[in-house]
Amino acid sequence: MSTVLAGRVALVSGATSGIGTAAALALAEAGATVVVSGRDIGRGRATVEQIEALGATAMFVAADVRSSVDVDAMIHAVIDRFGTLDIAFNSAGIFDRGQAFHSYPDASWDDMLAVNLSGVFRCMRAEITAMLDTSEHAAFGRSIVNNASTVAQRGSGRASPAYVAAKHGVLGLTRQAALEYAGRGIRVNAVSPGPTATAMAQPLIDEGPAAVAAALAPLNPQGAFITPEQIASAVVYLATDAAEMINGHDLVIDGGQLAKL
């Protein structure tokens, strides 16, 4: 284990699967105390057990980011237990595949934005409040990282209108908060993953490397999935003092996808 984040308390929403789980483990391996949050209690507790097996301290708090009550209770649980919040990675999100814009239903729009945009706002609002309220206990600069996407930079032939709109909005929230709190010891950044090897991609992965390369080469010049661990490494970096002058930035992790015309 590293000690680069020793003494810091980190919160990861959506930490019960995929990128969130990888980030929770990576933050723990970097020395942070980690609060794991999500809706799946079984998976959340399993992630805590993995962190504790590394010799780090962890706690699970069940929360649904669609609920301000849940989010506020989550933050209160962090402060009650550890007295501070130094790092937050807002990773909770859902995905739906592309549907024709003119027939996209209200229910899908409302659900997608409730989690992927409003959920990030609720988490940031509560996290920033806690960081400001406990500023006298801050031994380090505070860092918030939001999970955006390459579709925050452009349209998508695969994702829905609501998903694309929400991820664009996440970058707006990131930049606005970065400006507002730069002078108060809180940095706010985002990571934007390209196609990532999560459970949703498993059927393609199971077809083998050649199938993956054929499917991804039109998007990703490297013809390979990004791994959750690679994204987690970027989150850890943005949380460290090495990134103290990085603020309001979107770190794209896409194998060169956005470099293509």
Residue 244 backbone phi and psi in degrees, to 5: -65, -20
Distance CA 87, CA 143 (A): 5
Could you tell me where the DSSP H helices lie in 117-222?
Answer: 118-133, 161-181, 202-206, 209-216
Angstrom distance (rounded) from CA 37 to CA 166:
21
| Active-site residue identified among 104, 163, 181, 237 | 163
Residue 242 neighbours by CB under 8 Å, 6+ apart: none
β-sheet bridge partners, residue 87: 10, 143
**Residues in CB range of 19: below 8 A, 6 or more apart:** 91, 147, 193, 196, 198, 228, 231, 232
Residue 225 is given by DSSP the state P
For the CA atoms of the chain, what is the radius of gyration?
Answer: 18
Q: Are 216 and 224 in contact (CB under 8 A)?
A: yes
C-alpha distances in Å from residue 108, one per residue of 122, 136, 206, 260: 20, 43, 29, 30
3-state SS class at 189: strand
Q: Is 163 a catalytic residue?
A: yes
15, 49 Cβ separation under 8 angstroms: no
Point out the residues that are catalytic.
163
